[in-house]
Amino acid sequence: MRIHRIDHVGVIVDDLAAAKAFFLALGLEVQGEGDVAGAWVDRVIGLDGVKNTVVFLRVPGGEAGIELIKFSTPADERGIQPSFANTLGIRHIALAVEDIEAVVAKLKKNGTEIFSEIQHYEDSYKLCYVRGPEGIIIELAEQIK
């Protein structure tokens, strides 16, 4: 047995258009989108009456992707729960970027919440956390050459 790679990360959203626009602005590309329903998806994810819309995005030339999912049914009655970087569970998606300063400037211009100014980790990385739509936390990482 062997794991080949991380294929994708699923992110459940309410405002699919805003989340899609956010990731497109970061430079990801849409690989596919559509509606999903039926007994097979009910069995796969363990819910009944599933109807959702998905947008699958990938980094250009990359392998791993992000699957944005908007459930029509069943709905999450609790809504978005605020979380912090130390909240238990899967908390952020890290993206390796080129020219982190330009990426952060573009995101600021678009109104994205920036957790901090760009920080240096030793002499190896420049790092910055940002919060996208619906509380999605993205870590931007530029390797210092």
What integer pLDDT is reported at residue 65 of this predicted model? Answer: 93
88's torsion region: left (phi>0), alpha (psi -120 to 50) or beta?
beta
- pLDDT tens-place string over residues 53-96: 999 999 998 888 999 999 999 988 888 887 888 888 888 999 99
When the candidates are 3.30.300.20, 3.40.50.2300, 3.55.10.10, 3.10.180.10, the CATH number that belongs to 8-73 is: 3.10.180.10
Report the alpha-carbon distance of residue 83 to residue 62 in Å, rounded: 28
The β-bridge partners of 12 are 69
Query: What's the whole-number average pLDDT of the chain?
Result: 91
Q: Which fold has domain 92-143?
A: 2,3-Dihydroxybiphenyl 1,2-Dioxygenase; domain 1 (3.10.180)
- pLDDT tens-place string over residues 35-51: 999 999 999 999 999 99
- pLDDT tens-place string over residues 88-130: 888 899 999 999 999 999 999 988 989 889 999 999 999 999 9
